[in-house]
Chains A and B, each alone.
Chain A
Amino acid sequence: MASPIEQFQIKTIIPGIGFSNASLFMVATVGVIVGGLLLATSRRAVVPGRAQSVAEMLHDFVANTLVDAAGREGMKFFPLVFSLFMFVLTANMLGMIPGFFTVTSHVIVTFALAMLVIGTVVVYGFMKHGTHFLGLFVPSGVPGWLLPFITVIEVISFLSRPISLSLRLFANMLAGHIALKVFGSFVVGLGSAGIGLAILAPLPLIMAVALTALEFLVAFLQAYVFTVLTCIYLNDALHPGH
């Protein structure tokens, strides 16, 4: 029987340029987003049709999240945040189709996305506020003798942000897909174990169906959490004082 982690194997499709199935599905993700949004907004009707309202809902959803977390001036980061949300959401949802490759179940992909966010925060923070950006690590209203410890903790917490941001998305996708595969192999194993055990085979099948529904929820939720945390980190770059 196939190992549950075999689905994450990267196979090179075009050897010369290192084009693998991961690259193929990243291109497919971008293609689905661009194609879908272009198709949805091609008519640009005043009274939106079905596809156009979905596109408008996605836009308003991300815009509200960004304004709630980072204020009105956070809207200058809207293209970045919307692209991140759409990429993560579409990659997660494409991965839920059986036999498809989940791009976000590879830590290098999510770590690259997280470093993009943290890099934007650091570069923009220093560009806009100069050394005042370092005030992020020195919270006000703390007793003097406690301040060195708090500063060290704040620095460590800032440095662990890209790690936790990337690991959360990666591990959720990885664990979900492994669980689905394990329950799928239970069905096959019980079904081929003889007539006595084969009648039990529908039980893990029901569980696998329920887990698939849960995984769709997790796929959306992790894209949302990634976006909300991105907005909060961008808020630190915009308003570094505590």
Chain B
Amino acid sequence: MTAVETTDAAVPVRTSSPAPRRAVAGGARRRRGSAFDRLLPYLLLAPAVIGILWLIGFPVVSVVVTSFRKLDLGELVRGEVKWVGLDNYTKVLSDPRFWEITVRTVVFTAVVVATSVVVGLVIALLMRQLSTPIRILLQVCMLLAWAMPIIASTTVYQWIFDQQYGILNKILVKLGFDYAGHSWFSTGTATLSVIGLLIVWQAIPFLAFSLYAGVIGVPADLYEAAGIDGATAWQTFRAVTWPELKPLLMMVTFLSLLWDFKVFTQIWVFKEGGPSGGSTTLPVLQYLEGISQSHFGVAAAVSVLMVVILTLLTVSYLRKLLQTQEGKL
């Protein structure tokens, strides 16, 4: 921890020293120079900003607007605009199932994110200790797992866990357990556990690689110093690795949160949110309302509520991100 603070502190000290002050003054004069010079950065940014607003901003606004409309198949085809105020929100929020599904989604996301980040971190740390050939083997395996299309790996998992022909049940029977014809999808929780396992498996390569990049970025002399001071492995991790890795870890956790919260494909392909709606999460609800029942306005309201919930979940991280100038991460 102290190591980080010293390097951080060194930077401002240098910039505020008298010698560079002249340079700063000179720079300011240049900036005051011509209007074109001042506008240039903004002009260069403009195409990207316009592009992003067009691609991302427009759909967002469109979803929010749709959530205040009654938009069923008929209205969509006829191009009718019917404003219903907050009706869609009232309908969604007054349904007890919505709250049940929200809690389920939040718990599911939390468990999946925590598991995948912890396992990813452990593998990243492990890779540091491995000999090169073994590490490359591990990396190739993870890369292959990562490159596998979502539907393909979901299908493979469905086969593994199949009630009659699944290899898992067959192995368990061979090992002497009574798992012949055992259904892994008899309850919503059981179904979500299997899906969670799949999502963790799919997420680990990205997390492990990102965190490994962070791990090898930690200066070796810090570990040397810790070794000389006689630190144990755990103390080294706490005092050297953790502080260096923390910003990166926070970022990948944040990203995982975003990705895992809106997972739809795997859940739908597995059991379409069943049995009896037991593995229905918010994205599945959105699909059921929108595509299955053609209540696109209600589905849009669910989307907006999802964004609100996600913002609440990530508010502390977002606040930190906004406070950090110059992108400390």
**A, B: real partners:** no
Binding site for B on A (CB under 8 A): none
- By a beta-carbon cutoff of 8 Å, the part of chain B in contact with chain A is none
